[in-house]
């Protein structure tokens, strides 16, 4: 038995329909492309003079912006809306602003 086959069997033990590695599904590529969109948006905003993403005192501001953006998205949805939501979520994640789920 090849090492890859053994790894697949071990990883998929007890999981029906598990035949692929997540890396082979294109999911990582999707995340990489989306991360590039986030970087482009952050660069755009940085060049406009926006800052404070790393200041924990701004956690409430970014939470409010996240909620506003989600509310605004109920109408028309634009790529920048999705990217903005991801950026705000990343800032909050960086601040460790929320309690762990129990």
pTM of structure: 0.71
What's the burial of 84, exposed, middle or buried (CB within 10 Å: 0-12/13-18/19+)?
buried
Hey, where are the domains in the chain?
31-95
Residue carrying structure tokens 């999981």: 15
Q: Looking at residue 39, what is its pLDDT? A: 97
Size of the chain, expressed as the number of residues it contains = 102
pLDDT per position as a tens digit, 45-102: 999 999 999 998 999 999 999 999 999 888 788 888 999 999 999 999 998 766 676 6
| Cβ neighbours of residue 11 closer than 8 Å, sequence gap 6 or more | 18, 21
Kindly list the distances between the CA atom of residue 23 and the CA atoms of 19, 31, 40, in Å, as whole numbers in the listed order: 12, 11, 24
pLDDT per position as a tens digit, 5-54: 655 555 666 666 666 677 777 888 889 999 999 999 999 999 999 999 99
Q: Whole-angstrom Cα distance, residue 40 to residue 89?
A: 16
């Amino acid at each position: 038995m090849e090492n890859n086959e053994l790894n697949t069997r071990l990883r998929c033990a007890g999981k029906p329909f598990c035949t692929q590695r997540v890396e082979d599904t294109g999911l990582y590529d999707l995340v990489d492309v989306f991360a590039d969109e986030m970087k482009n948006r952050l660069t755009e905003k940085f060049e406009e003079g926006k800052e404070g993403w790393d200041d924990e005192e701004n956690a409430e501001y970014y939470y409010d912006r996240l909620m506003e953006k989600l509310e605004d998205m109920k109408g028309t949805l634009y790529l920048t809306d999705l990217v903005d939501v991801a950026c705000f979520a990343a800032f909050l994640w960086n601040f460790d602003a929320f309690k762990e789920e129990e």
